[in-house]
Amino acid sequence: MKWIVSLLALAFVQIVSASPAIEKRAAANDVANIGYATLNGGTSGGSGGTVTTVTTLAALTSAVSGTAKKIVIISGTITGNTAIRVGSNTSVLGKAGSSLVGVGLRVYRESNVIIRNVKISKVLADAGDAIGVQEASQVWLDHLDLSSDRDHDKVNYDGLLDITHGCTGVTVSYSKLYNHWKASLVGHSDSNGAEDTKITVTYAFNQFSNLNSRTPSFRFGHGHIYNNVFDNNNDGINTRLGAQLLVENNVWSSGTTKPLYSTDGGFAVARGNDFGGGSNTAPAGNFNSPPYGYSLTATSSVRSSVTGQVGQTLSF
C-alpha cells in the first residue's frame, strides 16, 4: 500500500512540474513595487478609486478617460481597429482570459497609470502601437501579453511597446512580447535628444521571443534591463545615441549573434549575463547603479523563474 501512495505522490509532483504556470492572485489596488515606477511618489494608478468592469469597446473607451482615480477591468474579448487613450490616475486590468484584438492602449501626456494583466494582439499600423507611452510619467506595465504575427510584412504592424518623448518613471515587468517584427522602441527619433535624454525605463523579468528587432532599441535615456529572457530573436538590445544602460543577469538562447550592441554611440554596463554564445560589443558606460533598490535573480535561475510567470498569469 505504501508503494502505491509513493507512486501516486510522485505522479502528482511530475504533473504539477509539467503544468503551465498557475494563476497568481493579485489585488486591483496593487501599486508599483519594482523599478523606476516606484520613484517620485510611486505609481498607484487608480488604487482606491471606483471599479468598473467593461466588455465592449465603447465602454472601455469611456471608462479609461479622464483623470479621476479609477480601476477599469477588461472582461472577455474586445475587438476593433483603434488606440484608446488612458487618462491619469488609472489602473487598467485584464481579467484572466480577456483580450484586446486590434485595440491598442495609449498613455499620452498622462501620469500615474497602471496597465496590468492585459493581453493585446494584432494591432494594425494605422491604429499605432499595441501600447504606446508618450510624454508620460510614472507608468507601470506589468504582466502584459503582447503579440501579432510575422506572416505579414513588417509595415502591417507598428511596435508592440514604445516608450517615447521624454517618458520618466516607467517599469515594464513580467511581460511577454512575442511573434512580431518591431518589439519595443525607447526614444522617439535620432533628432529628439533634447526631449528624450531624460527617459528612465526599467525592464525586469520579461520574455522577448520570436522578434525581429527592438528587444529593446534604446535611445538617449537611462535604462535598467535585468533578469529578462531573450529567445529566437533576430536582434538584441541596441543602445543608441548616448543611451546609458545597465544590463544585468539576462539570458539569451544559444545562437544569438549580437545580444547587446551599440549604434551611434550608445553605452552599456553589462554584468552577469548569459549571452547564449554571443558577446557584448557595446562600449562601456557609466550607469552602474539605479536610484532604487532591487534584488537580482541568479543568472542560472532566470529562465526557470521568468518563463512561468510572464504574461497574463494574474487573477483579480
User: pLDDT tens per residue, the chain (316 residues)?
Assistant: 433 333 334 333 333 333 355 689 999 999 999 999 999 999 999 999 999 999 999 999 999 999 999 999 999 999 999 999 999 999 999 999 999 999 999 999 999 999 999 999 999 999 999 999 999 999 999 999 999 998 998 899 999 999 999 999 999 999 999 999 999 999 999 999 999 999 999 999 999 999 999 999 999 999 999 999 999 999 999 999 999 999 999 999 988 889 999 999 999 999 999 999 999 999 999 999 999 999 999 999 999 999 999 999 999 9
Three-class DSSP category at 241: coil
| Cβ atoms within 10 Å, residue 281 | 12
Q: Which helix (H) or strand (E) segment is 72 a member of?
A: strand 70-74
As beta bridge partners, residue 28 has: none
Query: What pTM, to 2 d.p., does this model score?
Result: 0.93
Catalytic residue status for 214: yes
Backbone angles phi, psi at 194, to 5 degrees: -55, -35
Domain locations in the chain as residue ranges: 56-306
Task: Give exposure, 94-131, as e/b (b: 16+ Cβ within 10 Å).
Answer: bbeebbbebbbbbbeebbbbbbbbbbbbbbebebbbbb
**In this structure, what C-alpha cell is assigned to residue 226?**
535585468
| Interatomic CA distance for residues 210 and 226, integer angstroms | 19
Could you say which of 116, 214, 219, 240 is catalytic? Answer: 214
CATH number among 3.40.640.10, 2.160.20.10, 2.30.30.90, 3.60.21.10, domain 56-306 = 2.160.20.10
**Total residues belonging to the chain:** 316
| Interatomic CA distance for residues 67 and 80, integer angstroms | 24
